[in-house]
Chain A
């Protein structure tokens, strides 16, 4: 009897201890990995940084609380103020490598690309960008990735859509305003010239004007441009050029829409000119606009954002960037397990099959990389916003297909 009681008691103690241990431990032990992010809190883009980081931070917090818990992985986000300066990136990077050992790095813009492109393959850390790319970066075997193709390809998607809606069957006449001497800006025009050369019956570059980087007045250049009777004027460079072009069009009494990208888009331009003056103009990019009803990332942002940023194009763009990172990490976990995640594993995941739209909370369609380019090159599609009756609205609910554009 005594022995029976003793056995029963020790069994109860063991069960209690197990229950206590089980209660004390989470369902699955979590492995923690660092994700490092390049930001610009004291450089030229400081004004939009709250929304920029808000998009990324809300996605990583959402992922940690939901997907990460299930998968047994916690992502620790480390941010660095790179001041949008290539030298600053170059001198901060070794510290990031040594201290963070990140499994993925989220870049911000050209300084990150310039400083890290050649280092990443040796350091075995993939970098994911949120900005569109340029033709010169269309090179093979890079460790830098962007879910957005080149600016020219994004513009081509909208041009194709607009050409298909012309009342008569003719080529869309494109005017361009850009700056000589800045490689990325020149490349945007070169890509559009290539588009016109590839599809001469659909697109024609009516006239190209080269202006100062931050011009005060471009009326004389726009007058010359308007003489070529363009259907639209492409200003993919910066906000100052868009503002100057819009003012010149108004001054000349013309009604020609302006096509912009996301970084110099209508929201930014509307801070300097009345929205009424932008009626019919466009911003085009390879992600769904923030006000698109299908974008559930807006709710994620609303719930998890800890910054002073607001939901808009900037936050939507960086949320998409972060969602691509988490999608790659999830795939890497599935391949190597939650305890063996490395930069190489995330890179291999990025180079794998296409990431479906289910990963992107409505912001992206699907994303597929090949060794030949650091951005998707096939089955591309874009979305755009326009000003209608003084309000910013999506051009169409559907994705606009980008015509195939050979390398230029």
Chain B
């Protein structure tokens, strides 16, 4: 909903991501804040922001597959792993520069995802989810069985120096700028994909695949494309992760991580890339607060053991997510839309 007086002269103008002056000003302010952030935040918080940026990319990819195209994917972490191993191997073994290595990591994950997207042509729902779990199960076994020279086998791959154009990006603040820049590019792609004809086809498949095929959408092709696009995002996230942690092994990419990604997307809202951002932020902040609170509680109540605190933090985190879903089943993205439209038409009430 837009405020009174805002109107467009053409479809292209209406479809713009930034349509009003205040929207452009808000984006400029956000960019300014993101640039200034590492100068006033502690190294720990900057590190947290890097993790959030990497996770947002992976969750935005999941939003394309699950939210946009309606294809349930429980193996996103495996595709992140493929990207991480590809980027690390290219950088460490073939001296491919960091940014091209990350891009190729995305491509590699996308290509691998095609294998697991083929069943999507015939099946959907929980049955499809099972095939994506297969990706999660197969990923570590394949990596460990491949020749050690490729992905390091059980040793994994370590990255000694992380540089872009000869400049070391190993400090949190420098890596922050790389991570946020890559995230911005990927989010731009995600937002644009949503309003492209491909995004429209994805949404048509999600809403009713039989009806969309009657309308001329090639189901098989677009379902594979949806998996491919989602996995490209995962691969890019994996590439960034490899350069951030500087060591990759298969046990860093578990099914639990896939479930967390899905949880973040559900909390944020499936309907758009903004849901991926809001969900990742909300769950990360919640996790941090609960861990912080848990540690404070343990310091204040020495009679409690660490095991109790850990169990309680998990219960609280789960309960908080359930509460958020009950209160806002369409995710935080929807709540944000409601707030925005309320602000735009203020002082008049929403219909």
A binds B: yes
Residues of chain A at the chain B interface (Cβ within 8 Å) = 40-44, 46-50, 81, 83, 86-87, 90-92, 94-95, 98, 110, 113-115, 117-119, 122, 134-137, 180-184, 186-187, 190, 308
B146 to chain A, nearest CB (A): 13
Cβ contacts under 8 Å, B244 to chain A = 87, 90
Judge whether A187 and B154 touch: CB under 8 Å.
yes
A41 interface neighbour in B47, B170, B295, Cβ under 8 Å: B295
For the side of the interface on B, what is the size category?
A: 35 or more
B168 to chain A, nearest CB (A): 9
CA distance A90 to B50 in the complex (A): 10
Interface of A is mostly: helix
Name 9 A/B residue pairs within 8 A (Cβ), A-sorted: A98-B43, A114-B249, A119-B170, A181-B250, A181-B251, A182-B251, A183-B144, A184-B251, A308-B305
CA distance A200 to B143 in the complex (A): 30
Cβ contacts under 8 Å, A47 to chain B = 305-307, 310
Judge whether A81 and B291 touch: CB under 8 Å.
yes
Cβ contacts under 8 Å, B302 to chain A = 308
A99 to chain B, nearest CB (A): 9
Judge whether A94 and B309 touch: CB under 8 Å.
no
Find the B residue at minimum CB distance from A45.
B306
**Cβ < 8 Å to A, chain B residues 257-315:** 290-291, 294-295, 298, 302-303, 305-307, 309-310, 313
Judge whether A87 and B245 touch: CB under 8 Å.
yes
Judge whether A181 and B140 touch: CB under 8 Å.
yes
A91 interface neighbour in B155, B172, B249, B310, Cβ under 8 Å: B172
Cβ contacts under 8 Å, A187 to chain B = 154
Extra inter-chain contacts (18) besides given A180-B141, A181-B141, A183-B140, CB under 8 Å: A41-B294, A42-B313, A44-B310, A46-B307, A46-B309, A91-B44, A91-B48, A94-B46, A113-B247, A117-B158, A118-B158, A119-B246, A122-B170, A135-B155, A180-B144, A181-B144, A181-B250, A308-B302
Judge whether B250 and A50 touch: CB under 8 Å.
no
A-B contacts counted at CB < 8 A amount to 124
Interface of B is mostly: helix
CA distance A42 to B306 in the complex (A): 7
Cβ contacts under 8 Å, B160 to chain A = 118
Residues of chain B at the chain A interface (Cβ within 8 Å) = 42-44, 46-48, 50-51, 137, 140-141, 144, 152-156, 158-160, 170-172, 244-247, 249-252, 290-291, 294-295, 298, 302-303, 305-307, 309-310, 313
Cβ contacts under 8 Å, A43 to chain B = 310
Give 6 closest A-B pairs by Cβ, nearest first.
A91-B47, A47-B307, A136-B155, A46-B306, A181-B140, A183-B154
A42 interface neighbour in B48, B152, B170, B291, Cβ under 8 Å: B291
Cβ contacts under 8 Å, B154 to chain A = 134-136, 183-184, 186-187, 190
Judge whether A90 and B306 touch: CB under 8 Å.
no
**Given A50-B306, A92-B44, A308-B305: A183 and B249 interface contact (C-beta under 8 Å):** yes
